[in-house]
Amino acid sequence: MATVLGRLLGIAFLACFVTGILSHYLQEPLQWMVFATRPVWLYQISQAIHITAGILCFPLILGKLHVIYPSLFQTPPVRSIGHFLERGSIALLVAASLVQITIGLLNTYQLYFLFPFPFRQTHWALSFVVMAALAIHIGVKLPIIARYWRKKDSYDDDGTVIPLDDATDRSQNPERPEGATIPDLREPETTGVTGRLFRWIDRAPLADVSAGQARTSRRGFLATIGVAATALFVTTGGQSFRALDATNLFGPRKQGVGPNALPVNRTAQAAGVEESAMAPDWTLTVSNGETSRVFTRAELEALPQFEVDLPIACVEGWSQVASWKGPRMKDLADAVGAPVSAAFRATSLEQKGNYAVMEMGPEYVRDELTLVALELNGAPLDIQHGYPARMIAPARPGVLQTKWLSTLEVIA
């Protein structure tokens, strides 16, 4: 059973890790990196998978820990250096995984003031620790995993789980050199008070447990984990999947809730732009070395306007498709004679914050869908969504869709 749950958990961890790496490098690209701008929902789906799989890890990991809980009390606690390292790696795996999914969840609730450490950096570093401890764990347990991988090898004719020592005997390879010993993979029986307690628990009420009952019990447990995972998916998935909006009971975001019918990640108050964004003399400066053009909002409105439907997809996992209108980024780039291969740096009115300055590769600058948006869902941008002007590009994290734009400059 631990194999069954472990397998699902492994898949969920891997999904989180891969989508997490994508999200990380989108935000902090290495010099040589170029990103796909299609499909436009690439980041939306990637981050939805990240957060959904992360939430589903809760029932899976709790179920898995429940199954293996008795082996926490094995005696003697440490049998050898190898055994000590193995137990240490499991402790690290359990601790790092629990912290990883917990801080991930709390971050989507914007409860990050609870952490005595920076979220993004810690989440990033811990992701390697989790995958490392997981790889070690899989390595150590591989004989057991391989043994119980397929259902038909795991049960005898009555549906009873075949104990591991029989299993090892059966899978003996005839080519094995003479005299090689089969390592005893069984956990030693727990002794002492806890051992007696566990035997009492196991014996007392279910002394006459039949194979069928044990099977029912196993299936019932897996069904419970399945129901819990489904319930969480149905009640939280609505924050990123439109189809689940009606059953969105526990999503930290609700589609359509917010100014311009769209949720907000960072508010104008938090960014400290309430005055500067509303200033009547606001302008957007676009520059390419010595060449530079200054646009008022009216002048931006006078440029050819385009309307695009693009999702805004937050690193926190929620996303929503919205309708944006404004001039194309590439037209502004052309207005200052920027070369086709030029990358741009966008600066926000925001004085402090990690995303006040954003860099954008030519794949986004030259994309026809990338706009300097002035309107959102049929109305002028709300200040919470970046009035007077904000960037919107396909397949990028929301934190890079810079709001309250002040300057756009070619990166030399």
Of 167, 188, 163, 95, nearest to 134 by C-alpha is 95
- Return the residue of 132, 161, 162, 303 that touches other proteins, per CB under 8 A: 132
Binding to other proteins by residue 3, rule CB under 8 A? no
Site for other proteins in 90-129 (CB under 8 A): 91, 94-96, 98-99, 102-103, 105-106, 109-111, 115-118, 121-122, 124-129
First to last CA, the chain: 58
The answer to whether the beta carbons of residues 172 and 27 sit under 8 Å apart is: no
Taking the C-alpha atoms of residue 108 and residue 240, their distance in angstroms, rounded to an integer, is 12
Binding to other proteins by residue 215, rule CB under 8 A? yes
CB nearer to other proteins: pick between 175 and 290 = 175
Taking the C-alpha atoms of residue 243 and residue 40, their distance in angstroms, rounded to an integer, is 18
- Residue 359 bridge partners (DSSP): 345
State both tokens at 310. Answer: 């693009």
State both tokens at 37. Answer: 């701008």
Strands 284-288 and 405-410: parallel
Q: Binding mask 177-206 vs other proteins (x if CB under 8 A, - otherwise)?
A: ------------------------x--xxx
- Smallest distance from other proteins to CB 229, Å: 9
Interface region with other proteins, contact rule CB under 8 A, candidates 35-43, 132-140, 278-286, 347-355: 132-140
- Return the residue of 41, 58, 155, 306 that touches other proteins, per CB under 8 A: 58
Binding to other proteins by residue 84, rule CB under 8 A? no
C-alpha 72 chain-centroid distance? 29
Residue 351 CB-half CA count within 13 A: 8
Binding to other proteins by residue 248, rule CB under 8 A? yes
Binding to other proteins by residue 329, rule CB under 8 A? no
- Smallest distance from other proteins to CB 299, Å: 31
CB atoms within 10 A of CB 77: 10
CB atoms within 10 A of CB 369: 19
CB nearer to other proteins: pick between 120 and 293 = 120
Interface region with other proteins, contact rule CB under 8 A, candidates 62-70, 293-301, 353-361, 392-400: 62-70
- Return the residue of 11, 34, 257, 278 that touches other proteins, per CB under 8 A: 257
Size of the site for other proteins (CB under 8 A): 89
Of 264, 307, 294, nearest to 406 by C-alpha is 294
Interface region with other proteins, contact rule CB under 8 A, candidates 42-50, 214-222, 360-368, 388-396: 214-222
Binding to other proteins by residue 131, rule CB under 8 A? yes
CB nearer to other proteins: pick between 201 and 278 = 201
CB nearer to other proteins: pick between 141 and 345 = 141
State both tokens at 16. Answer: 């989180």
How deeply is 320 buried, as exposed, middle or buried, from its count of CB atoms within 10 A (0-12, 13-18, 19+)? buried
- Smallest distance from other proteins to CB 156, Å: 17
